[in-house]
Amino acid sequence: MTENNHSCHPRPGTRFGGAARQKNAASANGRRSLPRLAIRGRFTSSPFSLFDTFPARLLACQSTLRFPLRRPFMSSEPSRQPIIEFRRVNYRLANGNALLKDVSFTVPLGDTLVLLGRSGAGKTTALKMINRLVETNDGEVRVEGKTTLEWNPIALRRRIGYVIQESGLFPHYTVEENISLVPKLERWPAQRIRERLEELLLLVGLPAVQFMKRYPHELSGGQRQRVGVARALAADPPILLMDEPFGALDPLTRGEVRREFNELQQRLGKTIVIVTHDISEALLLGTRIGLMDAGELRGIYSPREFLRSTDPVAAAYVAQLRLLERAVEET
Ligand SMILES: Nc1ncnc2c1ncn2[C@@H]1O[C@H](COP(=O)(O)OP(=O)(O)OP(=O)(O)O)[C@@H](O)[C@H]1O
Ligand SMILES: [Mg+2]
């Protein structure tokens, strides 16, 4: 996969290049696209900004963003080529505590799997198994057909962009140095690195002239997270792992950034695993949602199936959404 195939050409004025790629997304799928009225503007004019926790609106938002869908919603394991695969994975600490218990799932090419679960459920542990920061005790994690143990770890990690919980930027590197790190390791020419840097900073809404010479401590938490996203995308890896990538953003910016991220995903077609404990984020961003609890994967659902699930943990998340909706409508 070359950089040219997937390089980003955001238009100014929107954080991730805005809704300007409606035409691209539609033509890439060879189908007609719906008008994108609500999502075109800045977040201040978006009717979803304040209400995007509500299930119906969330799904309306997602299906607008994802129209035309590249695939129908489904919960059964898709038959498309799996890029990431967990086969009966267990992870135990030396003291015998099990952090992951018999976890199996697949993520097909171009899908976005959201791992949803409360704090301590094992989401980050599962994510770190994909780029082999954590190794299984038992079972297999496969990436692009090979087990992570068969991969050279460096080669594996170059295929995978990783947005770390709390952004994980190098504090003594500027924004420019943080983002350019992997392209430099890949020995890209200086001009290409510079172009990529500017392109990515524009994409995440941080103009290069203003931000590239700053150190992480000179950014807000949300800006650091956006630099983290830019860094993960820098060398254009086909796989992205994102650990609560939007956690430090204020709700309005968060709503805008994740919608535009969704659109970006539609265009770039990367295979993504996102970790979150936020149900609205899961419904908005996921092609499928993997519900984790106490080290177990309770099920994999499409967003629509999740809303209808009778699993008590899934139902508890949905009940929270409905409570909020009712509370607001009663005011
Ligand atoms: N190296 C470790 N040593 C001991 N316990 C660990 C270690 N790493 C993780 N844990 C424990 O394993 C459990 C799962 O951790 P993990 O980081 O995967 O949770 P998480 O679902 O990502 O939670 P959060 O939403 O809070 O980030 C937690 O109880 C955590 O305390
Ligand atoms: Mg975590």
Q: Which atom belonging to ligand 1 lies closest to the Cα atom of 295?
A: 14
- Tell me if 183 is assigned to some domain: no
**What was the pLDDT predicted at 143?**
97
Domain count of the fold of the chain? 1
Q: Does ligand 1 have an atom closer than 6 angstroms to the CB of 276?
A: no
Residue 23 falls inside a structural domain: yes
Compute the distance between CA of residue 292 and CA of residue 158 in angstroms, rounded to an integer: 27
Residue 202 lies in a domain: no
**320 occurs within a structural domain:** yes
pLDDT at position 21 = 37
Bridge partners (DSSP) of residue 112 are 272
How many angstroms separate the CA atoms of 239 and 70, rounded? 18
Q: Is the pLDDT reported for residue 134 higher than 70?
A: yes
Of 63 and 121, which is predicted with more confidence?
A: 121
49 lines ligand 1 (CB under 6 A): no
Give the residue-averaged pLDDT of 241-258. Answer: 78
Q: By percentage, how much of the chain surpasses pLDDT 90?
A: 49
Asked whether the predicted pLDDT for residue 91 surpasses 70, the reply is yes
Q: Specify the length of the chain in residues.
A: 331
Q: Identify whether 26 is part of a domain.
A: yes
Residue 272 falls within a domain, yes or no?
yes
With bands split at pLDDT 50, 70 and 90, how would you rate the model's confidence at 227? very high
310 contact partners, CB below 8 Å, separation of at least 6:
none
The pLDDT score that the predictor gives to residue 58 is 53
Residue nearest to atom 9 of ligand 1 (CA): 125
Instruction: Tell me the pLDDT tens digit for each residue of 274-325.
Output: 999 889 889 888 999 999 999 999 999 999 999 999 999 999 999 988 887 7
291 ligand 1 Cβ < 6 A: no
Residue 123 C-alpha to ligand 2 middle, in angstroms? Answer: 6
Quote the ligand 2 centre to 56 CA distance (angstroms): 28
In a domain, 94, yes or no: yes
| 72, 63 contact by CB (below 8 A) | no
Q: Whose CA is nearest to atom 24 of ligand 1?
A: 119
pLDDT at 51: 33
SS3 readout for the chain = CCHHHHCCCCCCCCCCCCCCCHHHHHHHHCCCCCCCHHHHCCHHHCCCCCCCCCHHHHHHHHHHHHCCCCCCCCCCCCCCCEEEEEEEEEEECCCCCEEEEEEEEEEECCCEEEEECCCCCCHHHHHHHHCCCCCCCEEEEEECCEECCCCCHHHHHHCEEEEECCECCCCCCCHHHHHHHHHHHCCCCHHHHHHHHHHHHHHCCCCHHHHCCCCHHHCCHHHHHHHHHHHHHCCCCCEEEEECCCCCCCHHHHHHHHHHHHHHHHHHCCEEEEEECCHHHHHHHCCEEEEEECCEEEEEECHHHHHHCCCHHHHHHHHHHHHHHHHHHHC
Confidence of residue 255 (pLDDT cuts 50, 70, 90): confident
The reply to whether 201 falls in a domain is no
Q: What is the pTM of this model?
A: 0.77
Helix H, strand E, coil C: the string for 144-202 is: CCEECCCCCHHHHHHCEEEEECCECCCCCCCHHHHHHHHHHHCCCCHHHHHHHHHHHHH
Which of 11-25, 29-43, 144-158, 315-329 comes out lowest in average pLDDT? Answer: 29-43
Does residue 19 register a pLDDT over 80?
no
With a 6 Å cutoff on the Cβ, whether 68 touches ligand 1 is: no
| pLDDT over 80 (residue 113) | yes
Q: Residue 74's domain spans which residues? A: 3-159+237-330
* 99 close to ligand 1 (CB < 6 Angstrom): yes
The CATH number given to whatever domain includes residue 7 is 3.40.50.300
pLDDT confidence of 78, banded at 50, 70, 90? low
209 Cβ below 6 A of ligand 1: no
